[in-house]
Amino acid sequence: MRPRVEAPSRNDFPQKHRPVRTCVICRQRFEKDCMQRYLCPPPGGAALVPDPSGRQPGRGFYVCGNAKCQERVASYRGWRMKCKGERA
1-54: pLDDT as tens digits: 677 777 666 666 677 889 999 999 999 999 999 999 999 988 888 888 999 999
Read off the amino acid at residue 39: L
Q: Is residue 39 part of a domain?
A: yes
Buried b / exposed e along 48-59 (16+ C-beta atoms within 10 A): beebeeeeeeee
Domain boundaries, position 38: 19-82
pLDDT exceeds 60 at position 67: yes
pLDDT exceeds 70 at position 66: yes
Q: Residue 18's closest CA among 35, 37, 5?
A: 35
Q: Is residue 6 part of a domain?
A: no
Q: Is residue 59 part of a domain?
A: yes
DSSP 8-state assignment for residue 19? -
Residue 38, pLDDT score: 95
Q: Residue 30's closest CA among 15, 20, 19?
A: 20
- Quote the number of domains for the chain: 1
Q: How confident is the model at residue 74 (pLDDT cuts 50, 70, 90)?
A: confident
Q: Is residue 14 part of a domain?
A: no
Which CATH number is 38's domain given? 3.30.1230.10
Q: Residue 61's closest CA among 23, 19, 4?
A: 23
Q: Is residue 8 part of a domain?
A: no
pTM: predicted TM-score of the whole model, two decimal places: 0.74
Q: Is residue 50 part of a domain?
A: yes
